Amino acid sequence: MKRTLPFVVPTALLLALPLLRIDARDYVLQVLTLLFLNIVLAQSYDMVGGTMGYINLGHIAFFGLGAYALGILYNAGVPFVPAVALAVLAVMAFAALISYPFFRLRGAYFALAAFGLVKLMEYVTINLNWLTGGSNGLKIDPANRTVPMYLVSLAVVVIVLLASWVISRSRLGLAMKSIREDEEVARDFGVPTRLVKTQALVVSSIFPAVMGAFYTWYINFIDPGQVFGLKIALTPVAMAMLGGSGLVIGPVVGAIVLYMAEEVIWTQFDELHGAMLGGVIVVVGLFMPGGLMRLRPLDALLGRLGWREDDR
Amino acid sequence: MSDPLLQGRALVRDFAGLRALNAVSFEVARGSITGIIGPNGAGKTTLFNAITGDYPPTAGRVIFDRRDITGLAPNRICRLGISRTYQSVRPFLGLSVMNNVRIGLLYGRREALTRGEQEREMFAILDFMQLRAIADKRAEELIPLERKRLELARALATGPRLVLLDEVIAGLTPTEILSMMETIRAINARGITVLLIEHVMKAVMGLSSEVIVLHHGEKIAQGDPAQVSQDPAVISAYLGQADLSAGLRR
Amino acid sequence: MDLAILVQLLINGILLGGVYAMAAVGLSLIFGVSGVLNLAHGEFLMLSGFFVYVVYDRLGLNPFLAVALVAPCFFVVGYLFEMGLIRPLALRKEHVRLASATLVTLGVALIVEDATSFASLGGSFEKSVDIFVPTLVLGTVFLPSLKLVIFAVVLALIAALFLFLKYTYIGLAVQAVTQNRRGAVLNGVNTFRINAIAFGIGTFMAAAAGGFEVIHSAVAPDIGLPLTLKYLSIIVMGGLGSFAGVALGGVIIGLGEALVGFYNPAWGQTVAYLLLVAILLVRPKGLLGK
């Protein structure tokens, strides 16, 4: 009970938020929806990036693909729910397909190739004009979906957090961690590394795919630069590392902190937002290799809540 | 030797033009403790890597329990019953001692264990390797001797029929050496065949019933310790390495 | 296809690939020695382009002279960058170090881009140099002499780097560290200093490329990250530790972009990444990687 309370109470409060009758309600919901999107991306990135130690700079490709797949299917007349399901399945299949060539690469090579994939996706969507609308983007029937999108995002946040927690304590999660620590040794001790890596990538692709599909539905319009941008690709990575990559609690904390920092920077300063964000990221990289949640006081707090993980 | 557990047939391993193993054939008897000795660069660790599949042999066959395992992936070879330790220890540093052992239990075995069996087996191994008191620590918090014991524990967790021990004695104090030798005998007494690389001659000679000598990637002798230490080829291979040849003669 | 057009495209591609190759070789040197994915590489290139433009614009200097003046300063920039921001990460565990370095260089990239765009009155402002050099005509093939000059200088710089690596003590130390860091340490090589020097040289190569970029086309604050990505693709394609591979990768991409771009400019930009993925499928360690 004590362990679940800090998780259940905020969730319940957030769930009740749309009932609020104030003028700024929709604005608040929109801000939180974007935060939820960031949490989902950071948290699911970290399944491969943190738990398994493969820095997947191409994670956003799953988001963009999900977004485009839904837009295309929906515009082709597929009803919404099956369209989401199909979009997510397509992304999972894509993840399984690329895992074979990409996971033959190690360390920095993998990070690079995955990063290149994002750029490749961007250009391919620009070039496949007939399918994607090219650089003009893709529209679906416009509607205000603020409240349903808010609730869906909240639900996905809860699911991704639970999934991270379950995975980190599972057989698969242990294999992923062993790959992070020393892939050759893991293989010597029976871990079928190739299979585990594929499974991890496919699982981690589900969440951005779902969010991508709902994102198109919510925002009504997407274009290649928006969903395959390099900075969108890197922000969830920075968030996970800020909070504490490899810890279940890390990415979500990092996402909240960095998102709030961005909001403050945007509202308090007129210029140089990117530079300030860059400064924050440099400081994290230099002085907090383990991220916020591995700092002593916060680690102690986790211990008191009973949330500290054995492997960290 | 009739029906050996492990057999190498004319094993060759090349690294970028360098022949690290040259037509090495050998046999390891079931239930034995077999030692591998040889000067630095003789190809001892390469031989281990060829057996475990980490660096599969360029030519030749590895036969384990009458089955050809040449070219199988390391994870499959592990499941067939061969596990190992490393010359410079490689525990999963960020994982707890328990999870280090758990990897072998969950993935290294042929049959799946029930949860209860897993826990029982794990604590039996932790007790055996005197790691129970530090079971919750992460491997990076352990002192070197504990790390060595953790490597052995992890190797045992896969339920092996053969363990390859790569210099587990090197770097220990005399007292620790004696206790490690006891441990190795105890592992062997459980019916696990042991193949070990060692530089500490007294230990190899004391433990092994059979010794294989490698030199420049070739096997120059195999036999019981007393016989091997009298072998002229072996003595000349160690010439100039005073401490080792002294160890041999002792 | 008309043979003359083909020849023309090949020439354009090779000339383009030369500049790619130079910047990529610089990045490869850094990556090889330090193991760091320097996401700020393209930013230094862009920044140098801006300085070259400023020197040319304000002082009225010949742009090539401006490059000769600006690029060496970036050796110092790279050296200090390593000392201040990369060296403190040296003792971390391998995957932690990779992650930290990715963050630090990404942060620096964001800072440089934003600061440059701030200082240059808005992000989309492109800077380019006006310089007129007659084009040579050989039969039906046009040789843009400006690009030829640049190509010659690029070749000279790559050759100089190659000789430096092969025949000087520091160059040999750089190679030793690339191949085996621990072995190099055991043989008395000061790897910190070698890291810093590699960053210095690599950044210098990028800066020179940035200068040429502004001479033959243009630079804008937001070209940094995409360029870094392109160079990274070239390196992965060519294979770590193989400068010949990287140079080859640069030329392949230049050629690919020129040939494909002739038919469809948008697909031309895609070539680098398509080739990257295709080559990795066949050879996971790159074309000439071991």
Domain assignment of residue A44, given as a range: 5-229
Q: What is the pLDDT of residue B250?
A: 44
Asked if residue C278 belongs to a domain, the reply is no
Token pair listed for B44: 């001892």
Cα distances (Å, whole numbers) of residue B176 to A65, A312, B164, B173, B180: 58, 30, 20, 5, 6
Whether A257 shows a pLDDT value over 90: the answer reads yes
Q: Which of B141-150, C19-28, C135-144, C185-194 has the lowest mean pLDDT?
A: C135-144
Q: What is the pLDDT of residue C124?
A: 46
Whether B158 shows a pLDDT value over 50: the answer reads yes
**ipTM associated with this complex:** 0.92
> B103 at the A interface (CB within 8 A)?
yes
Residues of B with Cβ-Cβ distance to A189 under 8 angstroms: 75, 78, 83, 103-104, 107-108, 154, 157-158
Asked if residue A261 belongs to a domain, the reply is no
Whether C289 shows a pLDDT value over 90: the answer reads no
Domain assignment of residue C213, given as a range: 28-223
**Is the Cβ–Cβ distance between A85 and A290 less than 8 Å?**
no
What is the CB-side half-sphere exposure of residue B187 using CA atoms within 13 A? 32
Asked if residue C68 belongs to a domain, the reply is yes
pLDDT tens by residue, A142-171: 888 999 999 999 999 999 999 999 999 999
Asked if residue C215 belongs to a domain, the reply is yes
Distance from CA of A285 to the nearest CA of C (A): 4
Whether B132 shows a pLDDT value over 80: the answer reads yes
Q: What is the distance, to the nearest Å, from the Cα of residue B47 to the centroid of all Cα atoms in its chain?
A: 10
Distance from CA of B3 to the nearest CA of A (A): 26
Considering CB atoms only, which of C85, C111, C273 is closest to A275? C111
> C240 at the A interface (CB within 8 A)?
yes
pLDDT tens by residue, B89-115: 999 999 999 999 999 999 999 988 999
Between chain A and chain B, how many beta carbons pairs sit less than 8 Å apart? 82
Mean predicted confidence (pLDDT) in C71-95: 92
Sign of CA dihedral A260, A264, A266, A267: positive
Asked if residue A108 belongs to a domain, the reply is yes
Asked if residue A73 belongs to a domain, the reply is yes
Q: What is the pLDDT of residue C91?
A: 84
Asked if B16 and C93 come within 8 Å (Cβ–Cβ), the reply is no
Asked if residue A127 belongs to a domain, the reply is yes
Asked if residue A129 belongs to a domain, the reply is yes
Asked if residue C279 belongs to a domain, the reply is no
Whether B247 shows a pLDDT value over 60: the answer reads no
Q: Total structural domains in chain A?
A: 1
Chain C interface test: which of A104, A117, A119 (most C C-beta within 10 Å): A119
Question: Which chain C residue has its CA at the smallest distance from A126's CA?
Answer: C266
C191: confidence class by pLDDT, cuts 50, 70, 90 = confident
Asked if residue A297 belongs to a domain, the reply is no
Q: Total structural domains in chain C?
A: 1
Question: Which chain B residue has its CA at the smallest distance from A169's CA?
Answer: B99
Residue B49 CA to residue A288 CA, distance in Å, equals 38
B151: confidence class by pLDDT, cuts 50, 70, 90 = very high
Asked if residue C262 belongs to a domain, the reply is no
Whether C122 shows a pLDDT value over 50: the answer reads no
> A24 at the C interface (CB within 8 A)?
no
* Nearest alpha carbon to residue B103 among A47, A192, A48: A192
Mean predicted confidence (pLDDT) in A182-198: 96
Q: Tell which A residues from 245 to 274 touch C, by Cβ distance under 8 Å.
A: 245, 271-274
* Nearest alpha carbon to residue C246 among C255, C235, C257: C235
Whether A118 shows a pLDDT value over 70: the answer reads yes
* Nearest alpha carbon to residue C19 among C54, C49, C39, C40: C49
Residue A65 CA to residue A101 CA, distance in Å, equals 19
> B7 at the A interface (CB within 8 A)?
no
Q: Tell which C residues from 28 to 87 touch A, by Cβ distance under 8 Å.
A: 31, 35, 37, 85
Asked if residue A145 belongs to a domain, the reply is yes
**Average pLDDT taken over every residue of chain C:** 85
What are the residues facing B7 on neighbouring strands? B27, B63
Helix (H) or strand (E) run with residue B211 in it: strand B210-215
Asked if residue A309 belongs to a domain, the reply is no
Helix, coil or strand: residue B61 = strand
Asked if residue C121 belongs to a domain, the reply is yes
Q: What is the pLDDT of residue A269?
A: 81
